[in-house]
Amino acid sequence: MRQIVVAIDFSKNSVQALEYAINIANIVGAHIMMVWVDKPDNEDSIYNNSDHEHRQEAKTRLEEYVKEYSKKLKHGTLSYKLRKGKVYKEVANQAKYNDAYLIVAGSHGVSGFESFMIGSNASKIVTYSPCPVITLRETYEVKKTIKKVILPLDNSASTRQKVPFAMEFAKCFCSEIHVLELQSTTLKSIRGKVSSYTAQVTKFLTDNNVKHVVKSVDASNITTATIKYAESEKADLIIIMTEQEQETSNIWLGPYAMQMVNNSPIPVMSIHPKEIDTLAR
């Protein structure tokens, strides 16, 4: 059975991520593992006890979550893992160890003991993850189903690679896919390329009997345009490909994906281009 990893820091946002993951697990058939990470030398922790007591408190709260939320999980089991280190690396490592189908994480946290999802950590989880990651903000109201999925297409070579996973995901939820053609230039050659990608994706969805609509928009900022369209359609999920930027020895999430993860009020699923061969299963 598939496994979904949920990053937990006991903030409201991470509990929402757990509830969101349960809804997905109930449809696709999956176990859920909550991962809490003990950050070393955390001076802002709301706990002033020893490391042992700190971890024991986390374990107690996680066991309470297991007792409370296992009732909502229809098929799989709900478990937890305590790890120590950098949050984004440990969450990603656990997902890799479990051969996880998906990671679900909140994009913002609170403070101290509940702070690990603040700012760039959500983006870093996406960067290091070996599988797709869904991030959602605290302001999002968790729903039991995913009716509308936004699939933005640009002129990047990898933009179509998310389609097989999006199709399978949409079939599980009986979702409607909105193919969003993003035209960000006046150059005819590039506009033609994007239109060609859109035509290919549309044919693929039609051939596989996936309900879909197509919309073309001119976008000076593709992040803003995608979010605006998703909001206007009251969408439930945006699926994007990540882009990676290399700087010295570090790999960073590209600006488009980072902006989507940090700014979208609608949950965002991020997929790395290199993953696509293992996702369409």
Task: Give yes or no for residue 125 having a pLDDT over 50.
Answer: yes
Mean pLDDT, rounded, for 152-162: 91
pLDDT tens digits, one per residue of 163-215: 999 999 899 999 999 999 999 999 999 999 999 999 999 999 999 999 999 99
pLDDT of residue 112: 40
SS3 86: coil
Asked whether the beta carbons of 109 and 116 are under 8 A apart, the reply is: yes
Mean pLDDT, rounded, for 253-258: 72
Instruction: Set out the domains of the chain in order of their start, with CATH numbers.
Output: 2-136 (3.40.50.620), 148-279 (3.40.50.620)
Mean pLDDT, rounded, for 81-103: 94
- Overall pTM > 0.75: yes
Task: Give yes or no for residue 8 having a pLDDT over 60.
Answer: yes
Task: Give yes or no for residue 255 having a pLDDT over 80.
Answer: no
DSSP string, 152-179: EE-SSTTGGGGHHHHHHHHHHHTPEEEE
Give the pLDDT band of residue 50 (cuts 50, 70, 90): low
pLDDT of residue 130: 92
DSSP string, 225-246: HHHHHHHHTT-SEEEEE--EEE
User: What is the average pLDDT score of the chain?
Assistant: 85
Per the model's pLDDT, the better-predicted residue between 155 and 41 turns out to be 155
Q: If you ran DSSP here, which 8-state letter would residue 216 be given?
A: E
Cα–Cα distance between 47 and 39 in angstroms, integer? 12
